Amino acid sequence: MHKTPGQGVGAGRIGRPKSNTTHEIEETYAGYIIRPRGGATLSIVIPQMIAGFLGSIFAMLSLFSLMLPSNVAVTDVLAIKIAAALVMAVLGGFLLWYATRGTAVQVHVDKRMGEVREVITNRTGRNTIIANYGFDAVGGVHLDRSKSRDGQAVLVMRRRNSSITVPVTAGSEEDLIELRDRMGRDLLLSGTREHRRNDLRMQAQNSTKMPLVA
């Protein structure tokens, strides 16, 4: 998992986001961003609340353990106190980081870089990239009705040469068909061209390595 200080795909926005009841599409100079609408589910909010509570406790315990006086002035005891404080500080910091991260995954389609990124934006506006896929790694974009809920379908990307799918957004089929067709054009056509270029590059390299026959 890695972070980026930027705000998303490209250096700026162009036009207003196109939105519906389930998601919005924001155009950028390099591509577009697909953002889910609506509040986060309890399965995400509750763990983050618990993590924030536990993280605060560990952070305070780490501080108090160093402030409490020790009756035994032994180097080993002091080392144990410092080690315990560091462990609690690291654990508290991780829990607090998890508690402040975002609750919804955005999908950034970057046509300039030729990749799709799954991004979470935390409460301070900083982006965390949790996964990225090159266009040539995507084998299809389709509606998965087996994962539908409340009468909604789920738009997914399928990894090339596998049955693994990555969810993009959920919504009514009417709203998702246009987005499916657009992503299919952007990802599959560009990915196919890139895949062919890689094949030609590999063939050229292999031909130069073939020994000459006298």
pLDDT tens for residues 25-58? 899 988 999 988 766 666 677 888 898 999 999 9
pLDDT at 116: 92
CA 114/CA 9 separation, integer angstroms: 11
pLDDT of 157-206, one tens digit each?
988 888 888 888 888 888 888 899 999 888 877 655 555 555 445 545 55
Q: Rounded to 5 degrees, what are φ and ψ at 119?
A: -130, 140
pLDDT at 127: 81
CA 47/CA 174 separation, integer angstroms: 34
pLDDT of 64-99, one tens digit each?
887 776 655 556 677 888 888 899 999 999 998 888
20 vs 56, which has greater pLDDT? 56
pLDDT at 36: 82
pLDDT at 48: 84
pLDDT at 153: 85
Tokens of 17: 């986001």
148 vs 81, which has greater pLDDT? 81
Instruction: Say how many CA atoms lie within 13 Å of 79 toward its Cβ.
Output: 3
Would you call 140 exposed, middle or buried from its count of C-beta atoms within 10 A (0-12, 13-18, 19+)? middle
Tokens of 48: 């983050």
CA 138/CA 62 separation, integer angstroms: 46
CA 84/CA 76 separation, integer angstroms: 12
pLDDT of 88-133, one tens digit each?
999 999 998 888 877 778 899 999 888 999 998 877 778 888 889 9
62 vs 209, which has greater pLDDT? 62
pLDDT of 132-142, one tens digit each?
998 888 888 88
Assign domain 2-39+104-205 to a CATH class: mainly beta
147 vs 182, which has greater pLDDT? 182
For residue 80, what are the CA distances in angstroms to 48, 68, 71, 189? 30, 13, 14, 60
